[in-house]
Each structure stands twice: as C-alpha cells, then as structure tokens.
Amino acid sequence: MRTLTTDPTPGAGLPRSEAHGLAGTAAPHESNWLHVRGQARYIDDLPEPTGLLHAAVGHSTQAHARIRAMDLSAVRAAPGVIDVITVADVPGHTDIGPVFPGDALLAGELVEHVGQPLFAVAATSHGAARRAARLAQVTYEPLEPTLTAEAALERQSFVRPTHVQLRGDPDGVLAGAPCRLQAEMRVGGQEHFYLESQVCLAEPMEDEGVFIHTSSQHPTEVQKLVAEVLALPFHSVQVEVRRMGGGFGGKETQAAPLACIAALLARRTGRAVKYRLSRPDDMIQTGKRHDFYNTYDIGFDGDGLLLGADIMVAGRCGYSADLSEAVVDRAMFHADNAYCLGDARVVGHRCKTHTVSNTAFRGFGGPQGMMIIERAMDDIARHLGLDPLDVRKRNLYRPGRDITHYGQHIDQHVLPDLIDALEASADYRQRRAEIAAFNRQSPVLKRGLALTPVKFGISFTAIHLNQAGALIHIYTDGSIHLNHGGTEMGQGLYTKIAQVVATVFRIDLSRIKVSATRTDKVPNTSPTAASSGSDLNGMAALDACEKIKRRLIQFAAERYGVDPDAVTFADNRVQVGADSVGWVELIQEAYLARVSLSDTGFYSTPKIHYDRDTGQGRPFLYFSHGAACSEVVIDTLTGEYKVMRVDILHDVGDSLNPAIDIGQIEGGFIQGMGWLTSEELVYDAAGRLLTNGPATYKIPAVSDTPPDFRVALWRNSPNREATVFRSKAVGEPPLMLGMSVWSALRDAVASLADYRYSPPLDTPATPERVLAAVMDTLDWADRNPATGNMADDPIDGTTGQSTGEQFGARP
C-alpha cells in the first residue's frame, strides 16, 4: 500500500460520537435490507457458471429390501442427461456417517428406508435431472421393515447401545412412595420445513479440488466428507456458507450428502453442478426430529413432591446412527426439565427403524425428553386435586434439591423467581378462576390454561465440539472484516458477533462486516448447533479482538508515552492519556508502525465433562431458562382449538441483542407449538411418508399466532458463568415453551371431568387427538361421578354439581 485513505466515515472526525450497535442494543439483522429487497443471495440465486449441470437422485421406494437389479439405461438415455453414477463410481469413502458409520452415500445391495438415494444423475436442467431420475427400473426383494420405536424396542433393534443414568435407589423409593403413577406417551417427530430446501453448488477447481457453496450448518463436516468421498486431502476442498434460508438442525448433517454427490458429478464432468432438492424430495429424503415413545413410573408425596422416578425415553432413530447417540442423550439429560426427580433412573434407547435417519432439530431430543416429565406434572396435579402450577413450582430445583439425575449441581436458580413474576404478570390465578367459571357455563367450548417452565442445558454433549475459532482483519480505513466458524441461518449470529467486535473497540457496528463462513478462513469448526453459536464464536471473536487490542494499546502507550492503563477505547475514539485519537487515525498510525492488525481467536468451553460409564458428570456449562403461560379454547364437538393468549418470560442472561433474542423466543415458541399441535408426520404401513409437502404437513401459519402474545426478557440476571458479556444461548430453549400450549389443551379437556382426570394426549395434539381425549374424559367422568365433596373441587371450592350439562361429543 503506497498511500493511506482519508477517513471515509462521515462524522468520524468529530470529537466524540457514541458508538452505534454495541452489544446489548437492538441492532437489526445484518442482512435485513437485503432480505426485504430480495437481494440476499441464497445458493440457488448465485449467478450460474457456464455449463452448469443439475443433479437429482433416484431413491428407494421400499423401506427395507435387497436390490436384485437396477436398470439405469432409460435414465442414461433421457434427454439432457450427461452423467449417471452409482456407488461403484465413488473413488473414496462410500459411507458418510457423521459420527458413526452407517450412512451410505448411495445404496449398495440393501436399502433401509423409502427415499434412500440409489443413483445420481447430472443433466442440463433441474427438470431434466428430476424426470430422468424417475426412469430407473429397480427390482427389489422386499424384507420385513421395522417402522416404529415400539416395534424396534420389541425386537431390541438399536442403532447404538442403550444408555442409563442412575442416581440413588429409585426402585426402593418408588416401592415406598405414598403415591405412585405410571404412564406412557408418544411424542411425534417434526419436519424442519426450512423455507429454503437443501441445496449446494459444486465447482471443479483448476487442480483436483472442488469449491462448494452449501446451505449447511457445518461447513467443516461438508469439507471432510467431500474430501473423503473424492479421496482428496482436505485442503483441496473449500466450503463456503454465506447464509441459509433456515436450518433448525436440518442442515447440520443433512446438507453433506448433497455436497458429496454434487462434488462427485462435478469432478467427473468437469462442470459445475447444482443440486437442489424439490420440497417433496427434501421431506422424503432428509431426516427429521425423532419421534419418541416414553414411559414414566413416579413416586411422590401428598403435596406432589417427586420422590423418585424411573423414566424411559426411546427415540426412533431411523436406519442409521447419524446424530442419534447425542439426541437421545439430550432427551435423557432433559427428562427432568426443571424438576428434581429425586432418586432416579433414566434409560435411553436408540431404536433402529427402516425409516429415514432422524437428525438434529432445534432442542435436539431435549424437547422429547421434557414432554414425559411435563405430562407427569399434570398427572400428579389431577391425581391430588392440585393446581398443576403449584405442583410444578414445588418440584423446581432449589437449594437442597439441586443435583440432577446425571450428577450436575444446579447453582443458578432462576426459575422460582421467574415463574413467580410470570404468574403475576399473566394474572394466572385470576384467569384460572375465571376460566373455571366459564367452563362451568359454556356447553361446547372449554378454555384451558397452563404455565410451564423450561430449563435447557447449554454445551455440546460431545465435549470436543465445544471449541471455536475466529479471524479478524482491521483494514487501514478502520473497517473490520470478521470471520468465524459459525453459520448464519437467520438467527442473527453474524449480527451478534459483529456487535461483540464493535463493543471491544467501542466503534460503530457499521464498520464491521461479517463475511461468508469458509473453511479456508477458519478451520476445523464445529457445527452451528446446540444453541452454541454466539457463546463459542463470540468468545473466539472476543479473543481475536483482545489480541489486536493489546497490541494497539501497547503501541499507543509507547507512541504517546503513557501507561498502557491510560489507553481506553470509547465512542469511536481512543483515549491515550490526555489525548483523544480517532479510531482510523490510530489504526493508520499502527499500520505505519508495522503493528499487525489481524489475528485469530480461539475458545474452548471450560469446566464440562461427562463419564458415559457412570452416567454422571457436568455436561453443561450452564442452563438457559424460560416459562410460558398459554391459554387455549377447544371445541368439544370437533377437537379444534385456538391459542388465545401467550405470556413468556425468558432468561437470556445479559442480552447481546434484545430484538434478535425476542425474535428467537417468539419464533421458537411458535415452532414448538406447531410441533405439538398441527405438525403431523404420517407414514403408511409400508413406511412411506404421506405428509410430504406443505399441503399435508401444516406448520403454523399467520392466524395461528396468538392474538395476544406478550414476550419479555428476564432482566438483571447475568450468566454466572463467564460467557461472552454474560449472555446466554437462546437458539433452542424457547422451542420448549410451546409445551405450555399442549398442557393448556390438556387442561381444557380435563375441565370435562372437573379437573379430576388427566387424559392422555399424545402429540401432535391434532384436533383429532384432542377430540379423542375429550371422549376419553367424558367417558371417565361417566364412570367416576363427582362425589359432591367440596374439597374435591381443586379450583375454587365449589362443588362439582354446578358444572351443568355437557354437550361435548359422546361416543
């Protein structure tokens, strides 16, 4: 560089100006203007390279079968087809299992789920590739499929060994407990339904390498798998992720197979290859949230305090392990949600079925684990005639009851106060009484109310993933280029990390640009998952900034002859003793003095450990918390319902960006609500997914948003752990706030039996399931007439006689 630029920032020469967009402020998402103008580029929007080909795969129509013959002649002869490959054409690895082996890139002789890729086609257009892929003649020898978690349990068919966490003597405690209940429940899966379906673009490089644009939460894993499949050193594969059109866990491992196939076809043809899944192909071929079959056996006292629990969680993993080991672990770690189980055994099974391999989805098994204990809380309350909120509050972790079933000590007790505050701000008690009165009068419609907490452990349970890197360049105009290992899927990670950098140097956020995540900038990254994005990458960026800042301080102290302590950064300037130096001025002086203005940062999470042999440890650095109070109204003639009001208080520590955090909470809640209500995955008896498009799979739409929706952050509760600016992770925890809707639906149904009975309500609680619960409850009430004893009415002391005639559906 021969000359330095003059400071281009208007107003930068002014004496002092408060820096905009620092951590803690509601800075807009860095891409918002591009989003609203349609200018944010997703992979399918990139200018297409000359000679671009399009990929598609032919997939299995059988859940479990041996392939006897596969005739691809019609595929090869189809218009526009340039190349067709099978597993025999793969030069390197053919197994692309991310953690454990078992995921075939293209099937060999055996197929183990409907939708399993058999061969791949490259053609001159997206349509030509898809049409050609349908022309294969495949002869199958059908084998018997295992399709459900329960069937797999019966056959002891697992993708990974069963794991047990044991604390104390649950069998003894259960045998001696004053009260004991047992139940089972099925918790449904969930399709991610990211609006941008899986997509990548592979370009052959001048040497043997490839450049991959992918919509992936885990660029490093894409790099690794592509390199292994092509039998190349990792350095020959570069992977870039600018942004995803939604991820939610669905792009943690599921993006890699596409990249491997596109890269293979690109190397073979010497042409760029784009591989984009149509929506139905995406829904059929890629993994989803695990559905679970759970049971509990609990013992408690007359006040509803849990004394012991024996809990089983069994996740339907599909045909391969994928991430299921950790998913079922997390279900086990969250089988207590926010409650001390007492003496407890938690058993987790990884059921192998002939269905698509289920994968990460926001919450990662945690939500499925929590559902069983939330069911138990309602069941205890109805059994004892208590308000479910009182039972929940009584069982919260608190000093003295603060060791989890896996041995972690709970040392920050946020929920007792948070729940009290929400109970008050949501008028829980008053509405409870009002709703009970309404339900006694209203013949068809019944209202329900529930307040449920969330306590969610933060850290990857695979300990080695808890690391991150960052790369920071300061240019001589004072602008900063920032890279880190995290990926942007809409959650605002890039914005938050840029805010961290702005805060270190106390300069305007507009000076900082976060560019696409690339494997050649920050290597060996972890997936952006487990809500860890800002915790890990924020700390790595902080580390890089602090290194540069130390050099700048040292330089300034020497140049101006002051003590390093006298150098401070504030308001877009640097105070050096009595002198105030502009940011750009200091950077330019440092450059001329040959001070390095670039550095890397690194972070690894301290304190965490877990021993699989004993099932004990401290797997989480800390917990994020929240609680939601939801009110619903149900129709006892059809099971239809509507969520009327939702109040949420959520703990994000000291928020890095309250607007983004609120957005995560609202969006997470609605996604969790959808999981538990309208989003139903239906398979037929042959293992085919019938709900393979948005016409049949119903994620929440605009009218499902509660008309009264009040979301607030829990203030003045910094993280006790030394996270980035004492913030807390927010990506996954709010999803589980949706449990309050499910519990409120159950509450509304329970009103039909004067809250004396807690009907089973498997999820998703579709209108059909709600109606079944209504009928079950009316049936129960017929068989168990109210005694008329005042004490039996848990709500307001009135007798059960005033409930009036019920006009709900009777069998």
Partner 1 sequence: MIEFYLNGQPQRLDAVDPNMSILTFLRTKMSLTGTKEGCASGDCGACTVAIGSLDPQAPSRIRYDNVNSCIAVVGSLHGKHLVTVDALAGARPHPVQQAMVDHHAAQCGFCTPGIVMSLFTLHHAAHAQRQSPSEIQMLDALSGNLCRCTGYRPILAAGEAACRQDPTTDSDTAVPQADASGWLDNPAMCAELARIAEAHAILELREHGRYDAPQTLDELRRLRRDHPEARLIAGGTDLMLEVTQQLKQIAHLIDLTRIEALQQIETRPDGLQIGAAVTYRALEPILSERWPAVGALLKRLGSSQIRNRGTLGGNIGNASPIGDMPPILIALGAVLELDSTDGVRRLPIDDFFLDYKRTALKPHEFIRGVFIPDQDPAALLKVYKVSKRIDDDISAVLGAFSLTLNAGIVTDCRLAYGGMAAIPKRAHRAEQMLIGRPWDEAAVADAMAALAEDFSPMSDVRASADYRRHVAGNLIRRAWLETVSGQMHPSSTFPTTVFDYAHTHD
Residues 6-45 within binding reach of partner 1 (CB under 8 A): 26, 28-29, 31-42, 44-45
* Residue in 61, 515, 691, 798 binding partner 1, rule: CB under 8 A: 691
Sheet bearing 573-576, strands edge to edge: 567-570, 573-576, 579-582
Tell me: does residue 135 bind partner 1 (CB under 8 A).
Answer: no
Tell me: does residue 278 bind partner 1 (CB under 8 A).
Answer: yes
- Please choose, out of 522-530, 533-541, 597-605, 801-809, the segment that lies near partner 1 by the rule CB under 8 A: 801-809
- Please choose, out of 10-18, 179-187, 275-283, 341-349, the segment that lies near partner 1 by the rule CB under 8 A: 275-283
| Least distance between partner 1 and beta carbon 336 (Å) | 27
Residue 245 or 478 having the CB closest to partner 1: 245
- Please choose, out of 8-16, 100-108, 246-254, 297-305, the segment that lies near partner 1 by the rule CB under 8 A: 246-254
What tokens were used for 372? 């069983």
Give the sign of the dihedral formed by CA 107, CA 111, CA 112, CA 117: positive
- Please choose, out of 296-304, 568-576, 656-664, 717-725, the segment that lies near partner 1 by the rule CB under 8 A: 656-664
| Least distance between partner 1 and beta carbon 662 (Å) | 8
d(CA 9, CA 505): 16
Residues 547-586 within binding reach of partner 1 (CB under 8 A): none
Residue 364 or 641 having the CB closest to partner 1: 641
| Least distance between partner 1 and beta carbon 326 (Å) | 23
Residue 69 or 702 having the CB closest to partner 1: 702
d(CA 673, CA 196): 21
Q: Where are the beta strands (DSSP E) in 517-640?
A: 517-518, 567-570, 573-576, 579-582, 598-604, 609-611, 616-618, 622-635
- Which among 258, 254, 217, 290 has a CA at the least distance from the CA of 98? 254
Contact 615, 607 (CB under 8 A): no
| Per-residue contact string for residues 77-116; x = within reach of partner 1 by CB under 8 A | ----------------------------------------
Tell me: does residue 130 bind partner 1 (CB under 8 A).
Answer: yes
Residues labelled catalytic: 732
d(CA 688, CA 683): 5
* Residue in 702, 789, 791, 797 binding partner 1, rule: CB under 8 A: 702
Torsion of CA 482, 484, 490, 495, to 10 degrees: -40
156 in the Ramachandran plot: left (φ > 0), alpha (ψ -120 to 50) or beta? left
* Residue in 286, 671, 717, 727 binding partner 1, rule: CB under 8 A: 671
| Least distance between partner 1 and beta carbon 200 (Å) | 16
Peptide bond into 764 cis (omega under 30): yes
Residue 304 or 731 having the CB closest to partner 1: 731
Residues 42-71 within binding reach of partner 1 (CB under 8 A): 42, 44-45
Q: Counting Cβ atoms within 10 Å, is residue 366 exposed (0-12), middle (13-18) or buried (19+)?
A: buried
d(CA 583, CA 580): 9
Residue 348 or 731 having the CB closest to partner 1: 731
| Least distance between partner 1 and beta carbon 409 (Å) | 34
Q: Counting Cβ atoms within 10 Å, is residue 694 exposed (0-12), middle (13-18) or buried (19+)?
A: middle
Q: For residue 691, give the DSSP letter.
A: -
- Please choose, out of 147-155, 377-385, 534-542, 707-715, the segment that lies near partner 1 by the rule CB under 8 A: 707-715
Residues 188-207 within binding reach of partner 1 (CB under 8 A): 192-197
Tell me: does residue 685 bind partner 1 (CB under 8 A).
Answer: no
Contact 395, 284 (CB under 8 A): no
| Least distance between partner 1 and beta carbon 673 (Å) | 9
Residues 421-450 within binding reach of partner 1 (CB under 8 A): 441-445
- Which among 341, 419, 424, 421 has a CA at the least distance from the CA of 380? 341
Contact 186, 762 (CB under 8 A): yes
Q: For residue 376, give the DSSP letter.
A: H
- Please choose, out of 7-15, 140-148, 237-245, 611-619, the segment that lies near partner 1 by the rule CB under 8 A: 237-245
Give the Å distances, CA to CA, from 765 to 78, 479, 777: 45, 52, 15
* Residue in 175, 682, 722, 790 binding partner 1, rule: CB under 8 A: 682
- Which among 679, 663, 612, 239 has a CA at the least distance from the CA of 461? 612
Residue 558 or 708 having the CB closest to partner 1: 708
**C-alpha 150, offset from chain centre:** 25
- Which among 301, 291, 293, 292 has a CA at the least distance from the CA of 181? 301
Residue 12 or 771 having the CB closest to partner 1: 771
d(CA 746, CA 759): 7
User: Pairing state of beta strands 237-241 and 273-276?
Assistant: unpaired
| Least distance between partner 1 and beta carbon 198 (Å) | 13
What tokens were used for 626? 């929240």
Residue 31 or 337 having the CB closest to partner 1: 31
- Which among 514, 572, 517 has a CA at the least distance from the CA of 30? 514
| Least distance between partner 1 and beta carbon 432 (Å) | 17
What tokens were used for 586? 């200091």
- Please choose, out of 12-20, 66-74, 640-648, 720-728, the segment that lies near partner 1 by the rule CB under 8 A: 640-648
SS3 call for 679: coil
Residue 342 or 764 having the CB closest to partner 1: 764
- Which among 460, 342, 462 has a CA at the least distance from the CA of 404? 342
Q: For residue 88, give the DSSP letter.
A: G
Residues 746-785 within binding reach of partner 1 (CB under 8 A): 766-768, 771-772
| Per-residue contact string for residues 617-636; x = within reach of partner 1 by CB under 8 A | ----------------xxx-
Binding residue count for partner 1, defined by CB under 8 A: 93
* Residue in 106, 210, 241, 244 binding partner 1, rule: CB under 8 A: 244
- Please choose, out of 348-356, 466-474, 485-493, 608-616, the segment that lies near partner 1 by the rule CB under 8 A: 485-493
Q: Where are the beta strands (DSSP E) in 396-506?
A: 445-458, 467-474, 480-484
d(CA 735, CA 366): 10
Residues 491-530 within binding reach of partner 1 (CB under 8 A): 491-492
d(CA 285, CA 69): 21
| Least distance between partner 1 and beta carbon 731 (Å) | 11
Residues 284-343 within binding reach of partner 1 (CB under 8 A): none
d(CA 43, CA 47): 9
Contact 245, 255 (CB under 8 A): no
d(CA 109, CA 153): 26
| Least distance between partner 1 and beta carbon 334 (Å) | 22
Residue 365 or 668 having the CB closest to partner 1: 668
* Residue in 585, 704, 779, 792 binding partner 1, rule: CB under 8 A: 704
Tell me: does residue 669 bind partner 1 (CB under 8 A).
Answer: yes
Write out the H or E segment, with its range, that includes residue 722. Answer: none
| Least distance between partner 1 and beta carbon 733 (Å) | 15
Tell me: does residue 675 bind partner 1 (CB under 8 A).
Answer: no
Residue 282 or 378 having the CB closest to partner 1: 282
Residue 79 or 178 having the CB closest to partner 1: 79
* Residue in 637, 686, 786, 795 binding partner 1, rule: CB under 8 A: 637
| Per-residue contact string for residues 710-749; x = within reach of partner 1 by CB under 8 A | -x--------------------------------------
The per-residue b/e assignment along 519-546, b for 16 or more CB within 10 angstroms, e otherwise, is bebbeebbbbbbbbbbbbbbbbbbbbbe
